[in-house]
Amino acid sequence: MDVIKEVEFEQIFMFIYSEREGTVACKMENKISEEEKHRRFNILKDYFDNQQEKINKKYIGKIHKVLAIEISKNNKEMLTGRTNSNKIVVFKSKQNNIGNILNIKITEDHKWYLKGDVV
């Protein structure tokens, strides 16, 4: 938790550890209960979700280079792309921009993505 607080990762991959037969860890004593694993996971997830809101707000008003990847699944007039820090950005653009790197001014932040305009 200290590292996550200090570094302020743009994203993290979280999972609950599960034993793998034949590993040293599988034979260890004093194992953590499933309930404790879930409790710790939820603490990490809640903290990271709250931290993401703070991190995403730093993007608003700034221009970022975004690789246009695909048509948005929710709106055919919008494209979805990613910043160089792998943030998802949704923006209005023509389909022929897919595959191009565009300058996007971020206008809104959402929990799982950012929204912006081509500049």
| CA distances for 80 relative to 15, 57, 74, 94, 109, angstroms | 26, 19, 10, 11, 14
User: What pLDDT does residue 30 have?
Assistant: 86
Tokens 């023509």, residue located? 94
Domain match, 74 and 43 both:
no
Q: Are residues 111 and 71 in the same domain?
A: yes
pLDDT band at 57 (very low <50, low <70, confident <90, very high): very high
Domain span including residue 85: 63-118
d(CA 116, CA 119): 9
Mind listing the pLDDT tens digit for each residue in 69-96? 999 998 999 999 999 989 999 999 999 9
Domain ends where: 10, 33, 57? 57
pLDDT reported for residue 52 = 86
pTM tops 0.85, yes or no: no
Q: What does the pLDDT average to over 15-30?
A: 86
- Give residue 12's pLDDT: 86
Residues 49 and 28 in one domain: yes
Domain count, the chain: 2
